[in-house]
Structure 1
């Protein structure tokens, strides 16, 4: 369902120096599989999701989603592919304030070629426990309710893959487990593969497959190795 091959990404600093942030030799997720990627803030988790979704293009390497190589296409084509094949749950929800819960999900549907029906938008909101909030706008909902709308919107077009970027970061600890379980249950019922990134071990412990980013990303691994060597040398001195 998802396959990465030799993904590399760096950013250019104001002085022109390139700073590597990602070096991922390979990574795969099977159809319907649920995986969590864990690592501290600033280690490239969101950048990796942006590359997988086609929002950002890597410096080199290939991304395959549901048999389609995203990295070979232009930005506009990647946008169309993402609308059909990839759902995205953002850390900050990215809901439109002037639109109701139902309208936010319908807007997500409108970007895809599959053209899911308005009835599906209502059905999904009812499934995530918001059947009584269809007409409410984001400012009229709690943080947890807004996250539920975001989940419904992300799966509305029946994507092959769902990406979730720290979906519990803005939710109180008491409700974190419920939100993660909601995303997992929804993906399982819709047969959607899922990759979630987090820095929380409490979230990671809800998954059978946990991948440490410092083991996947050679940039982080090399930095840790260098720091460890420097520390050892200092200790010997």
Structure 2
């Protein structure tokens, strides 16, 4: 499902120099596999997810999803591919403030080729505990409630690959496990590959495959060796 080979990414500093962030020689995720990437804040976890999603592009290397190297697509091509193949739970939610919770999930469906399934949108919001907030606007919802809307929206299109960036970071302990259970159960039922990023070890420990980013990223290994 997902294959990365010799993926490198750097950012330009105000001085004009480039600061290397990622150097991932190899990373694979199988179809329907569920795995977690762990690491400290600022180590490049979100950057890696952005590259996999096609939100950004690597300086070099191959990022292949379902056999297609997305780094070779145009920006519009990556946007279309992401809408059709992937779901993404953003750390900052990215909800549309002028639309209700239900409308946000339905609008997420409209960007792909599949039909809009209002019943599925309703069901997903019920399953994340927001059946009573279907017609509420994000600005009237707590941070945790907005996160749960974002999870429902990411699952709405039955993606082949789900990327989740700290999906429980802003959820209270009472709802944290329900979010993890919903994501994992839905991915299992619908054979969705899952790549989750988290620093919460109580979440990571529930997965059979846990990959520290410093083991995937040669730059992190080099920094650790010189520490």
Classify the TM-score, shorter chain: over 0.9
> CA offsets, 1:67-122, max 9 Å, x none?
22211111110000000011000112221222111100011011112233233322
Q: Secondary structure at the match of 2:131?
A: coil
> CA offsets, 1:162-202, max 9 Å, x none?
00111122223443233222221222222211101111212
Number of residue pairs matched by the alignment: 227
How do 1:173-188 and structure 2 match up within 5 A?
Answer: 173-188=173-188
Residue aligning to 2:195: 195
Work out whether 1:70 is the aligned partner of 2:42. no
- Give the RMSD, CA atoms, in angstroms: 1.5
How do 1:85-164 and structure 2 match up within 5 A?
Answer: 85-164=85-164
Q: Which moved more, 1:6-15 or 1:179-188?
A: 179-188
Residue aligning to 1:213: 213
Work out whether 1:6 is the aligned partner of 2:6. yes
Q: Is the 8 A contact 1:144 1:179 kept in 2?
A: no
Q: Secondary structure at the match of 2:187?
A: helix
5+ unaligned residues in a row in structure 1: which ranges? Answer: 228-237
C-alpha separation in 1, matches of 2:184 and 2:148 = 12
Q: CA deviation at 1:26?
A: 0.7
Q: Is the 8 A contact 2:127 2:182 kept in 1?
A: no
Q: Is the 8 A contact 2:128 2:178 kept in 1?
A: no
Work out whether 1:21 is the aligned partner of 2:21. yes
Tell me the TM-score normalized by structure 2: 0.94
Q: Is the 8 A contact 1:64 1:70 kept in 2?
A: yes
5+ unaligned residues in a row in structure 2: which ranges? Answer: none
Residue aligning to 2:50: 50
Q: Is the 8 A contact 1:91 1:166 kept in 2?
A: yes
Q: Secondary structure at the match of 2:211?
A: strand
